[in-house]
């Protein structure tokens, strides 16, 4: 098993610790919004280390939609490059853990459909897209 390297951001690292440490019963929402969060586990594209990233839970049937918004920051989050390099992930949704494969959504019609689902689950995504000139990357995680 590769080494786990926690996020350098305190609030993110602490959420992962609480979420995973409780087996998925605690720390499962974004701060005080009450909106559900998942944990995506994958490999770093340079270190090969295990990385864990909390993301908003956006479901499309059995699939999860992963939105690289990073609050509308000018740059893509690093996990986007990690998933482009290695599409094997584990998704923890509260007490359930799934082995999944991700693909980046390229088709415009599919992206529009999934983006609307994402904004419905987490309305601030719309504002984040307005804040940045980059097109926010969208991935789908499907059962492997
Ligand atoms: N971020 C989103 O983009 N979308 C969301 O829906 C979202 C929801 C969310 C909910 C709760 C929460 O606690 C956080 C949430 N975040 C959301 C923030 C998200 O968890 C990430 O922190 C954020 O997207 C930034 O991702 P990042 O991959 O850029 O992480 C940074 C902070 C980080 O830790 N970077 C590492 C570092 O050391 O700086 C790099 C980690 C890495 O993967 N390194 C690679 C490696 O090989 O290990 C190589 C790096 C390279 O150069 O390629």
Check pLDDT > 80 for residue 1. Answer: no
CB atoms within 10 A of CB 123: 10
Q: What's the gap in Å between 78 CA and the centre of ligand 1?
A: 6
Query: Is any atom of ligand 1 closer than 6 Å to the C-beta of 53?
Result: yes
CA distances to 43, 74, 125, 131, 135 from 128, in Å? 26, 10, 5, 5, 10
Tokens representing 9? 């951001």
Residue 29 has pLDDT above 90, yes or no: yes
Is the CB of residue 24 less than 8 Å from the CB of residue 17? no
32, pLDDT greater than 90: no
Within 13 A of 57's CA, how many CA atoms are on the CB side?
Answer: 17
Tell me what pLDDT residue 68 has: 98
Which region, left, alpha or beta, applies to residue 75 given φ > 0 means left and ψ of -120 to 50 means alpha?
A: beta
Atom of ligand 1 nearest to the CA of 81: 53
* pTM score: 0.97
Centre of ligand 1 to C-alpha 79, Å, is: 5
- Residue-wise pLDDT for 97-106, tens only, equals 999 999 999 9
Own/partner pairs, 31-36, CB within 8 angstroms, 24+ separation: 35/121, 35/122, 36/93, 36/94
Q: What is the mean pLDDT of the chain?
A: 97
Is the CB of 42 within 6 Å of ligand 1?
Answer: no
Report the nearest-CA residue for atom 33 of ligand 1. 7
How sure is the predictor about 134, in pLDDT bands with cuts at 50, 70 and 90?
Answer: very high
Which residue has the CA at smallest separation from atom 12 of ligand 1? Answer: 54
Ligand 1 pocket test, pick from 2, 6, 7, 34 with the greatest ligand atom count within 8 Å of Cβ, gives 7
């Amino acid at each position: 098993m590769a080494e786990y390297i926690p996020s350098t951001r305190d609030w993110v690292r602490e959420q992962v610790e609480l979420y995973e440490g409780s087996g998925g019963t605690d720390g499962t929402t974004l701060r005080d919004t009450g909106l559900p969060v998942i944990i995506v586990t994958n490999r770093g594209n340079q270190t090969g280390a295990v990385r864990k990233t909390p993301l908003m839970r956006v479901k499309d049937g059995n699939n999860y939609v992963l939105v690289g918004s990073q609050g509308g920051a000018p740059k893509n989050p690093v996990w986007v490059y990690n998933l482009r390099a290695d599409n094997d992930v584990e998704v923890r949704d509260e007490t359930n853990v799934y082995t999944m494969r991700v693909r980046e959504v390229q088709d415009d019609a599919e992206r529009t459909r999934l983006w609307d689902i994402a904004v419905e689950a987490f309305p601030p995504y719309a504002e984040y897209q307005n804040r940045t000139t980059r097109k926010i990357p969208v991935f789908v995680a499907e059962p492997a």
